[in-house]
Structure 1
Amino acid sequence: MKKLILIIFAALQTVSFSQVVDSLEITKAEIYDHIKYLASDELEGRFTGTEQCRIAAEYIAREFKKAGLQPAFNGSYFQEFPFISDIKLGDNYCNFSGEETLSLEVQKDFIPLPFSDNLSIEGKIIFAGFGISSKENNYDDYENIDVKNKIVIVFRNHPDVNTPHSPLEQYAGLRYKATVARDKGAVGIIFVNTSDKNDNDNLFKLEYDGASKVKGISIIQIKRDAFQNLLSKLGLNAEELEKQITVNKKPNSFEINTTARIRTEVFEIESISWNVGGFLKGNDEKFSDEYLVIGAHFDHLGWGKQNSLYQGEPMIHNGADDNASGTAGVLELAEKFSSEKNNLKRSVLFFAFSGEELGLLGSNYLVNNFPIPIEKVVTMINMDMIGRLKDSSLIIYGTGTSTKWKDILNENNSFGFKLTFNDEGFGPSDHSSFYGKKIPVLFFFTGTHSDYHKPSDDFDKINSEGQEKVLKYIYSVATEINNSEIKPDYLAVERKDSGRITASRVWVGTIPDFAGDVDGYKLGGVTEGSPAALAGLQAGDIITKFGDKKISNIYDFTYAIGNYKPGDKVKVIIKRADQEIEVDLELKAR
């Protein structure tokens, strides 16, 4: 009987051990289960800072703990970080006084724009056409008018709107027009819809656009009826005035015999979101103090509040591929590495970031508030959208950031992948934050698709079998990096991309830090060999003046460089720590 019991016990132990081993393998079933939950309607798209985002973070932390990872943040799996989640109105008013007094009601007749400064102003009204000043295109609404200490009222869009790819299109942005008006001395700018807006005359949507305010100017929009009321005193018609300018392509600016009193007050609402982190300690005395980072973002678009490509009523954007797939990858790799932890030379940190969809907020905060000295990180591996493998095509970014990468990637490709290499270290995902700290990176990506940033990016479209192959490949690459006797070297890869929003003829080479809520344009990094690098600019610098233009945010910067050509030398003022530094920067061609 005892022998029988021992045989049964041994058999049970064998089954149990086999199950444990299987559970620590990378499997398509576990990948599918992770993605199915993270991309479920229950989590409502995991928008940064929401309750559903927190629930997803707790799920990731539980999986880290289950896999045997230690908490990465001083005994916690969670790292909180602040971000601007929304805006709200304070005390706003708009009154016009001339022969008669006209008082407008906020959100009914007028609206302050989200990027308006908080100011109380008073001044005479100048109609300045479309608010465009472009000498090179022989069009200037500000020619022969003085707007210093006055308030300009302008049409939205531009006068050549019916011409595809008109050169005036780059001057049509509301932020750009506000910056131009401010730089010409105006204390306020009032926008009016043109008559081609399907006659709805909707007020601007009050929504945070991810950048700092335009300092030093009040910015509002009023209804066309209110504008027509002002013009009627002069015997003019708003639609005819607009038509006259667009047909003749000539400005028609003038003073309106009216004074405006305007107060704009828009408050930014700060919220909290979370990064999740765990680690496995290496076992080699020589290398255990070096760290390999494996990460992915777990946030998505919620109900399509921002950055959605879907046109229609609000719907949950579940983000199965973007990026529940990458998050599932982190969980599977964490489990796999944990099962082999006795063989690790270097330590491994696993991170899931939120705030990526809002501008790499979580990873940017992490690299500036890292749980260990960040110089100890030897490599960062990022996974973003790895769930739609098609035709065995796998794209890898960052392949030029170390001399080791291409050999390692090719030698470990026993899976038959058709590899596409992109050398750049900066790019549209969280590896950028690490590369800005001079860390070699690899970013794995199976390609975009028609469901990108739409409600249709659901778990049933995931190729979990293909993702299993991708993760096993990443595991083999990561294992070689972890166990190599030689630390990967870092290479700076030239990237001719200034981060501009509008087209530009010049190259500066700055990389924006979207997490920087500062008065100025904060740099997340600079491209090697770029004008910015040659001038001595570096990550963390805040550009406050570019030539004669005050810089309050990235938009001010992008507009300012549009006034220059390759070869121009520009004086740039930066803030570095508590110092104000002036540097000379010579622009190059893109």
Structure 2
Amino acid sequence: MKKVKVLLGASVVFWGLSCQFKGAKSGSSLSADSKPANAGGFVDEKNNVISLARPLTFVGPKSGEGYFSPDGSKMIFQSERQDGNPFYQMYILDLISGKTTRVSTGQGKTTCGWIHPSMKKVLFSSTHLDPEVSKKTKEEFENRAKAVKARYSWSFDDSYDIFTTDLRGKGLKRLTKEKGYDAEASYSPDGQWIAFASNRKGYTQKLEGEDLKYFQQDPSYMMDIYIMKADGTGVRQLTNSKGYDGGPFFSADGKKITWRRFAPNGATAEIYTMNIDGSDQKQVTRLKSMSWAPFFHPSGDYIIFGSSVLGYANFELFIVDAEGKHEPVRVTFDDGFDGLPVFTPDGQNLSWTHRNEKGESQIVMAAWDDLAARKLLGLPAQDPAAGTLSPEIKIEDIKKWVYYLASPSLQGRGSGSGEEKIYTAKLAQVFKSWGLEPAGDNGNFIQSFEFTSGVNLGSKNSLEVVGSYQKKYTLSKDFEPLSFSQVGTFREAPIVFVGYGIKAPAGDQEPEYNSYKGLDVKGKWVLVLQDLPGDVKSSRRHYLNLYARLQHKITVAKNEGALGVIFTAGPLSGMKEKFGALKFEGALAETTVPVLRLTSEAASELLKYAGHNLSNLQRNLDRGDATEAVVIPSAYLKAQIDLQFVKSKGLNVIAKLPGAVKEAVVVGAHGDHLGHGQFGSTLATKDEAGRAHVGADDNASGVAGVMELAHHYANLRKTNPAKVQKTLYFAVWSGEELGNLGSSHYVKTAKNISAYVNMDMIGRLRERLFVQGLGSGTTWAGLVEEVGVRTALPMTAQEDPHLPTDSLAFYMAGVPTVNFFTGSHGEYHTPRDTADLVNYEGVAKVLNVVRSLIDLLIDNRQTMVKYVKVASAQSKMEGRSFRVYLGTVPDYSQEGVKGVRITGTSKGSPAEAAGLMEKDIITEFDGMKIENLYDYVYTLQAVKPNKETVIKVMRAGNLKEFKITPKLKD
């Protein structure tokens, strides 16, 4: 941004329009283009915070200072349009009908109107009781008729008092009676208080010296801020400074007041804030110019005001954070005067007074981009619960949710994190405010579940080589256990170097690769290079990569009979070996062998003792040569591994909207994401490593959809309950990135669910919307066809319900599911998935489709969709690149299970034909022991298709054996 520090000449003239636009020195002779001295820094760069500006008033030569009613449907403003009176009178503009009604008497001068929160009365200041009102009116007409007109200055008429009337101008009541200028009044948000400005002390106190001199020259010199009860009683003074304190406005929460304070000589004015009792008075701007007419954004996070920092001929609007920590930012860029800014109660629009070169002024209305304003000021996204949200699906509300959830302050919303507690509490708060019922644990909106979330090094880790070669290694310098290592003490055993430790079967066009061919490693430690051959052709490397993950290598070594595994990068790898930051590999990564990592330097010394050079060995292996196994002679490794596992609680948020029948439809999305890359699988580049993965599309967009739909249906149930026949649940899941943990926990006890509607990544709509999982129910396709005709949004229908998202948990529980998805993109699972890249208009279109589908599901008592068990095109666990499949679906929420527990089988699959059932725990397959997911995946890759083999499972505590024939995929 362009930052400007302007040096401007002094001035004391104020081209007044209203109570917020007052001259510091009446009758000053300085010209309009004079400039204030020593202006402070501000940001002056074109932006689009304000858009779609349009005139709101047209009648009369001058209109200005319009303030909105609490519901935003009306505006009270002052205008010179009364026949027989040249001064401002007070009017109410109905922003729905366009009708204007005068509420002042039509006599004298008026200023500073405000509508009471009850919408039954208004206040304004008026001089209509002045005995000289007729004389002053005649003099004003005569002055305006003169060929040479006097310079305009605001009148601090000592007969101004504050009055109230109803919205038709009836029931006039006087609230102040003291001599002096009582004006610039506004109601507190609860309607119990009035803040106003008054110079009454100038008439009641004995003034001497400079005080008397200044007050005689300018009555505003004795102006201070006061507060009184709404009936005019209990007046208290809040400020007591030399010079003009005026224009007080309350913050939307009623806790703060903002105003502008002039220097005693009237040359400059700055913006201030204070508590409503007058305490904690704080200067917010330091532009050393005429800054005034401040108004809080409804959030209370920032203030908009007008300033002459660019010169008195070109007042512009600026924003500044409420704490005054950021330099003010310019937001208007037109010639002429722009001032007296006011936000609509929802903060989505701005009104202000614009005066042209002819001196004519009218009120202008425009759209306001709160998110852009916050970005310019370095402020976080607004808390949606603190603002006004519409029960209709609106782009502005969707933006609020996505920017809030994808804000850096929530640190990527990792499952079990402190930030998860923050945002789930916020969602629960909003659900409650809309009248939904809690459906979590113990009558709350939150449902918790426990999972393994991390691992730390214990105090008893050691590694030592004994025998002819002796070496003690230092923890976190020479070695470190891996997070999926078995914990315990491991005896001395020989060490065998096995190269890359890969065992890959022959593929369609690839020969077999077997690091263990001809080797006996039973009861021995194997020393393994971490990666895979680097100098082979790309197709070969791609194929071997399927078998090169550390977990796969561990499974291979274990099944070859190895006692333990030692990984090393090798001197030619180019890897930076970092120890001391143990990485957790996931809740399913369990094994029964010790697994360690050794530095390349330590590994090289070990092989040097055996008469080999590790660099040469690695160079040969990188060319694809056969593994040159090396047995380290007379050297035995022993280890003690101490890992402390961390348990965390994931938090689902679940709300209920009761219908006429118990049968329920669940609408959900996952709220968790990858944190800084430690939760789930990051695709961040090296330069992005460690940065917050804010997950705007994945899946703040889906959560925004849940919240918008919950608000819509909560309102619909109040206004038209016949449209909500079935019960609706709205859920935001935790642990999806770790394997659908939250949704899997929920379905274990959920009842009466007839359909589940999921939204995962709906923020990047391009040509079409993907509607997935339609094969899970009898009539999904027909319902989606109907919705497609109604909404006219291009859609692609997909049948397979075995999807890598929360809908899978419901499908495996026997619930027909549908998932909405707008497609993947290059920012997926990286820190680049930010809120500014979301297609908000597209999200609104997707939600229109989802809403239309939900309408069909819930506006009658019949079951609209029945569950269908279908064959999976490919199981998530078994992977897209595998040649064979069994048709099993694992329980991704399993904890502490030795083996792989399944939640069911696909229709027509080998697993179904073999007789496998839900809750079976696979313990052996094709002669290989299965202790965790990686064992199973490895064995599945190596098994021969179309050849009968044996699979063993634990069922209800009993070991059962089945014959199964793996099949080739199409």
TM-score by length of 1: 0.90
Pairs within 5 Å for 1:364-375: 364-370=744-750, 373=751
Per-residue deviation, residues 233-255 of structure 1 (Å, max 9, x unmatched): 33321112233444472232232
Q: Percent identity?
A: 34
Q: 1:205 to 1:230 in 2, by over 3 A?
A: same
Per-residue deviation, residues 416-462 of structure 1 (Å, max 9, x unmatched): 21110111111121111101111111111122223222223222333
Contact 2:536-2:624 within 8 A present in 1 as well? no
Contact 2:555-2:934 within 8 A present in 1 as well? no
Alpha-carbon distance in structure 1 between the residues aligned to 2:842 and 2:882: 40
Q: 2:878 — aligned with what?
A: 500
1:345 aligns with 2:721: no
Per-residue deviation, residues 157-200 of structure 1 (Å, max 9, x unmatched): 33465221224443322222222222222211212223332264
What's the offset of the Cα at 1:123? 0.5
Pairs within 5 Å for 1:144-155: 144-155=518-529
Q: 1:468 to 1:231 in 2, by over 3 A?
A: closer
The 10-residue stretch of structure 1 (250-259 or 240-249) with the greater mean CA deviation from structure 2: 240-249
Q: 2:471 — aligned with what?
A: 102
The one-letter amino acid of 1:289's match is K
Q: 1:93 — aligned with what?
A: 462
Secondary structure of the corresponding residue to residue 849 of structure 2: helix
What's the offset of the Cα at 1:202? 4.6
What's the offset of the Cα at 1:9? 6.3
What's the offset of the Cα at 1:536? 2.2
Q: 1:205 to 1:576 in 2, by over 3 A?
A: farther
Secondary structure of the corresponding residue to residue 499 of structure 2: coil
Alpha-carbon distance in structure 1 between the residues aligned to 2:858 and 2:706: 16
Alpha-carbon distance in structure 1 between the residues aligned to 2:597 and 2:643: 14
Q: 1:15 — aligned with what?
A: none
1:439 aligns with 2:439: no
1:117 aligns with 2:486: yes
1:358 aligns with 2:738: yes
The 10-residue stretch of structure 1 (447-456 or 428-437) with the greater mean CA deviation from structure 2: 447-456
Per-residue deviation, residues 244-276 of structure 1 (Å, max 9, x unmatched): 444472232232111111122333211112000
What's the offset of the Cα at 1:118? 1.4
Q: 1:180 to 1:482 in 2, by over 3 A?
A: same
Secondary structure of the corresponding residue to residue 776 of structure 2: coil
What's the offset of the Cα at 1:77? 0.4
Q: 1:187 to 1:79 in 2, by over 3 A?
A: same
Alpha-carbon distance in structure 2 between the residues aligned to 1:406 and 1:110: 56
Q: 1:488 to 1:191 in 2, by over 3 A?
A: same
Contact 2:482-2:597 within 8 A present in 1 as well? yes
- Aligned with 2:452 (options 84, 93, 113): 84
What's the offset of the Cα at 1:112? 1.2
Pairs within 5 Å for 1:136-285: 136=506, 137=511, 139-159=513-533, 161-166=535-540, 167-198=543-574, 200-202=576-578, 206-247=582-623, 249-257=625-633, 258-283=635-660
Pairs within 5 Å for 1:191-590: 191-198=567-574, 200-202=576-578, 206-247=582-623, 249-257=625-633, 258-283=635-660, 288-306=661-679, 307-311=681-685, 312-313=687-688, 314-341=690-717, 342-343=721-722, 344-370=724-750, 373=751, 376-391=752-767, 393-413=768-788, 414-484=790-860, 485-498=862-875, 499-501=877-879, 503-517=881-895, 518-590=897-969
Secondary structure of the corresponding residue to residue 349 of structure 1: strand
Q: 1:131 — aligned with what?
A: 501
Contact 1:304-1:316 within 8 A present in 2 as well? yes
Alpha-carbon distance in structure 2 between the residues aligned to 1:309 and 1:132: 24
What's the offset of the Cα at 1:379? 0.3
Contact 1:130-1:158 within 8 A present in 2 as well? yes
Contact 1:87-1:268 within 8 A present in 2 as well? yes
Q: Give the count of matched residue pairs.
A: 569
Contact 2:464-2:470 within 8 A present in 1 as well? yes
The one-letter amino acid of 1:406's match is A
Q: 1:526 to 1:153 in 2, by over 3 A?
A: same
More helix as a share of residues:
1
TM-score by length of 2: 0.56
1:40 aligns with 2:413: no
Alpha-carbon distance in structure 2 between the residues aligned to 1:469 and 1:98: 71
More strand as a share of residues:
2
Structure 1: gaps spanning 5 or more residues: 13-18
The one-letter amino acid of 1:128's match is V
Alpha-carbon distance in structure 2 between the residues aligned to 1:133 and 1:470: 46
Q: 1:205 to 1:557 in 2, by over 3 A?
A: farther
Alpha-carbon distance in structure 2 between the residues aligned to 1:242 and 1:502: 31
RMSD: 2.6
The one-letter amino acid of 2:783's match is I
Per-residue deviation, residues 480-507 of structure 1 (Å, max 9, x unmatched): 1113434411112221324225843211
Contact 2:591-2:932 within 8 A present in 1 as well? no
Per-residue deviation, residues 325-375 of structure 1 (Å, max 9, x unmatched): 1111111111111122222211111111011122211111111243xx2xx
Q: 2:369 — aligned with what?
A: none
Contact 1:210-1:514 within 8 A present in 2 as well? no
Alpha-carbon distance in structure 2 between the residues aligned to 1:47 and 1:199: 28
Alpha-carbon distance in structure 1 between the residues aligned to 2:547 and 2:834: 39
Q: 2:305 — aligned with what?
A: none
Secondary structure of the corresponding residue to residue 438 of structure 1: coil
Contact 1:299-1:323 within 8 A present in 2 as well? yes
Alpha-carbon distance in structure 2 between the residues aligned to 1:22 and 1:188: 58
Alpha-carbon distance in structure 2 between the residues aligned to 1:106 and 1:204: 8
Secondary structure of the corresponding residue to residue 942 of structure 2: coil
Alpha-carbon distance in structure 1 between the residues aligned to 2:739 and 2:668: 16
Structure 2: gaps spanning 5 or more residues: 1-102, 104-118, 122-165, 168-345, 347-387
Alpha-carbon distance in structure 1 between the residues aligned to 2:472 and 2:802: 50
